């Protein structure tokens, strides 16, 4: 079973080296007039596709009025971009951003008298359009549960066409299931090379490497029956939220890549920010600077690790971070608001599950 996590990590690492942004903004396009031209009907937001027969058990939450989703816009800065006090190449640069993984918030887009496109990234700070690539923010969101789930469930993380039997060839009569398709698991068997095969209903079977799965787990020792806690599963790359013994929410996450692992253990959230910047590894090849990260909850004090919203990639279900637990903006918002009314500082249990437990 150990190969599954290595497989997902390898794919996530390969994708990390690829571009993670787009010249189009997320669908909805509730933008200032200055950047309305960035909207496109071709922009796709990933939403969970329902495959579960018991879908009334799983609900997608409504966005609160206070949401930051689709109300903030971000862009990746090119290496060694100049920041100017005015939208003109003739002005003396305020600074150079250097070389790294650098994202800024976008206040507005405009054109100067020379017809050049510029972006204002902070009041009185401008970058030329060629030096900023607008990020497409993931629209994926996990599910709330109306009752305790009776069986494992989860999402397709790699597109798959199901088979009719375990270890079978893809059945052309079955539709392909795209990434982020939501499924329930009705049966599990062990196939060749120790891989699990999941019965996802309607006679369809698929190999475990295509899924990230959530199952109800008991409360870890030390968490009281009325306390709120979250389970971060490094093997499955999922997060499940609990109130006492009842699972109330679940979603996909991206934890730290192998060179920057998310540490296992039982932690409690010790600081929270609705929006704040993060930076690290200055002067190194992995230097990063990320403005206005939404819905941050620090839990690993020793290593500065947090749960937080993520606007710069859409690789949820795979390891992809510098150590923090990346969530979509919508998921981080849900967890941030939910935990604000908890009777305790939110517990965060980080561990690596054994999928062989599904065979039981």
Task: Kindly give the confidence (pLDDT) of every residue in the chain, 360 residues in length, as a single tens digit, with 9 standing for 90 and above.
Answer: 444 444 444 444 433 433 333 323 333 333 333 333 343 333 333 344 444 444 589 999 999 999 999 999 999 999 999 999 999 999 999 999 999 999 999 999 999 999 999 999 999 999 999 999 999 999 999 999 999 999 999 999 999 999 999 999 999 999 999 999 999 999 999 998 899 999 999 999 999 999 999 999 999 999 999 999 999 999 999 999 999 999 999 999 999 999 999 999 999 999 999 999 888 777 777 788 899 999 999 999 888 899 999 999 999 999 999 899 999 999 999 999 999 999 999 999 999 999 888 877
CA quadruple 244, 250, 253, 255: dihedral sign: positive
- Say what the pLDDT of residue 360 is: 76
The values of phi and psi at residue 12, to 5°, are: -65, -40
Q: In what side-by-side order are the strands of the sheet with 125-128?
A: 108-111, 117-122, 125-128
Neighbours of 90 (CB within 10 A): 8
The whole model's pTM is what? Answer: 0.85
**Measuring CA to CA, which residue among 296, 241, 294 is closest to residue 271?**
296
Q: Considering only the C-alpha atoms of the chain, give the largest distance between any 2 of them, rounded to a whole number of Å.
A: 69
Assign 270 to helix, strand or coil: coil
Name all domains of the chain by residue range, CATH numbers in brackets. 74-134 (2.30.30), 143-214 (2.30.30), 228-354 (2.40.440.10)
Count the helices and strands in the chain (H runs, E runs).
2, 26
Assign 64 to helix, strand or coil: coil
DSSP per residue, 184-244: E--EEEE-GGG-EEEEEETTEEEEGGGEEEE---PPPTT--TT-EEEEEETTTTEEEEEET
CA-based Rg of the chain, rounded to a whole angstrom? 21
- Say what the pLDDT of residue 33 is: 33
Is 301 buried (19+), middle (13-18) or exposed (0-12) by CB count in 10 A?
exposed
Neighbours of 36 (CB within 10 A): 12
- Say what the pLDDT of residue 293 is: 96
- Say what the pLDDT of residue 37 is: 36
- Say what the pLDDT of residue 55 is: 59
- The strand pair at 82-83 and 204-207 is best described as unpaired
- Which secondary-structure segment (H or E) carries 9? helix 2-16
Contact 128, 89 (CB under 8 A): yes
204 to each of 15, 182, 214, how far by Cα in Å?
29, 14, 19
């Amino acid at each position: 079973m150990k190969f599954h996590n290595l497989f997902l990590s390898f794919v996530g690492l390969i994708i990390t080296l690829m571009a993670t942004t787009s010249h189009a903004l997320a669908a909805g396009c509730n933008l200032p007039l200055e950047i309305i031209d960035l909207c496109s009907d071709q922009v796709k937001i990933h939403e969970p596709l329902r495959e579960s027969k018991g879908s009334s058990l799983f609900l997608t939450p409504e966005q609160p009025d206070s949401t930051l989703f689709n109300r903030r816009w971000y862009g990746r800065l090119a290496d060694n971009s100049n920041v100017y006090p005015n939208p003109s190449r003739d002005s003396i640069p305020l600074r150079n951003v250097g070389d790294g993984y650098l994202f800024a918030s976008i206040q507005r887009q405009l054109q100067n008298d020379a017809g050049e496109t510029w972006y204002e990234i902070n009041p009185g700070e401008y970058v030329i359009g060629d030096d900023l690539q607008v990020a497409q923010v993931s629209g994926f969101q996990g599910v709330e549960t109306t009752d305790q789930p009776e069986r494992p469930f989860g999402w397709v993380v790699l597109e798959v066409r199901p088979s009719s039997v375990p270890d079978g060839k893809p059945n052309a009569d079955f539709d392909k299931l795209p990434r982020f398709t939501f499924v329930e698991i009705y049966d599990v068997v062990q196939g060749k090379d120790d891989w699990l095969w999941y019965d996802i209903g309607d006679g369809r079977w698929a190999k475990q490497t295509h899924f990230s799965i959530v199952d109800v787990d008991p409360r870890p020792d030390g968490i009281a029956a009325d306390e709120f806690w979250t389970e971060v599963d490094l093997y499955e790359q999922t997060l499940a939220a609990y109130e006492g013994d009842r699972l109330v929410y679940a979603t996909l996450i991206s934890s730290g890549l192998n060179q920057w692992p998310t540490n296992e253990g039982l932690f409690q959230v010790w600081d929270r920010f609705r929006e704040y910047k993060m930076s690290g590894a200055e002067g190194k090849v992995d230097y990063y600077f990320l403005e206005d990260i939404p819905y941050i909850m620090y839990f690993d004090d020793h290593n500065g690790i947090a749960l937080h919203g993520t606007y710069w990639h859409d690789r949820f279900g795979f390891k992809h971070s510098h150590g923090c637990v990346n969530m979509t903006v919508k998921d981080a918002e849900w967890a941030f608001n939910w935990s604000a009314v908890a009777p305790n500082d939110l517990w965060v249990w980080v561990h690596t599950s054994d999928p062989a437990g599904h065979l039981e």
